[in-house]
Amino acid sequence: MNLRARELGFRVLNDTVRNTREDVVINDCFGERFIGSGASSKTIIINGTPGNALGAYLDGADIIVNGNAQDTVGDTMNDGKIIIHGNAGDALGYAMRGGKIFVKGDTGYRTGIHMKEYKDKKPVIVVGGSTGSFLGEYIAGGLIIVLGLNTDGIPVGEFTGTGMHGGEIFIRSSKAPKSLPKQVSMNMADESDISRIKDILVEYSKVFGVDMDEILGKTFYHLTPNAKNPYKQLYTEN
């Protein structure tokens, strides 16, 4: 099914996408919100720039954006995959609890805020470029990888992992991230760490045509919750 977003408006567009079982191609997308909310068992290809809350509550569908995306991509998504061939805004992956989000370029502030995992659901975010401050704020589970492929500097802003009490963050950088809060422990990733994320890196490299030798050509820093993290005491294990 082929749709022209600007002709339909976001309400009709979303109703049409929601009610079809077919794969969908959306052209002329220019800020239409909530595309793919709760979608499952279909592929949605978007040519243009979708608005806020793309793929909110996504439940198994694949969304491919040939362009940039705005804020709160993948809000509370449960399963599926979102691929962005550009940049994305703030709070990408907000409270996501499953599925994968791959971004070729940069993301804004608070990427991965409130990510969590439950049983076999482990959300994954991979950012090819840089992120703003407060990456992984209050992360309770899941995996965030920032590759910094477009910079020689540190590819994350300040206060990475503020309130972190679960999950893990990998940052590819020639220099160690700065301004980390006390809730975060940081080490240089060793071979066993890299081996655990290699399948994700290979998948990302195939999606965007990035050479694995380039990806593995810099040090990765591995961030986990500090064992003395006071936030961790507020939560029980599943």
- Convert the pLDDT of each residue in 204-238 to its tens digit: 999 999 999 999 999 999 999 987 665 555 554 54
Q: Which pLDDT does position 53 carry in this prediction? A: 97
Query: Contact, 172 vs 147, CB < 8 A?
Result: yes
Q: What is the mean pLDDT of residues 186-197?
A: 96
- Which pLDDT belongs to residue 238? 44
Give the mean model confidence (pLDDT) for residues 22-27. Answer: 96
Of 14-18, 48-52, 62-66, 225-229, which gets the smallest average pLDDT? 225-229
Q: Count CA atoms closer than 13 A to 4's CA, side-chain side.
A: 2
pLDDT of residue 183: 86
Q: What is the mean pLDDT of the chain?
A: 94
Closest CA to 44 of 66, 26, 68: 26
Note the pLDDT tens digit of each residue in 144-158: 999 999 999 999 999
- The CATH number of the domain holding residue 151 is 2.160.20.60
Tokens in use for 95?
A: 């409270």
Which distant-in-sequence residues (6+ apart) come within 8 Å of 209 by Cβ? none
- Residue 18 structural domain: 2-234
Question: 133: buried, middle or exposed (CB in 10 Å: 19+, 13-18, 0-12)?
Answer: middle
How high is the pLDDT of residue 179?
Answer: 85
Check if the beta carbon of residue 80 is closer than 8 Å to that of residue 39. yes
What total number of domains does the chain contain? 1
Residue 134 contacts residue 161 (beta carbons within 8 Å)? no
CB under 8 Å to 12, separation ≥6 — which residues? none
Q: What is the pTM of this model?
A: 0.94
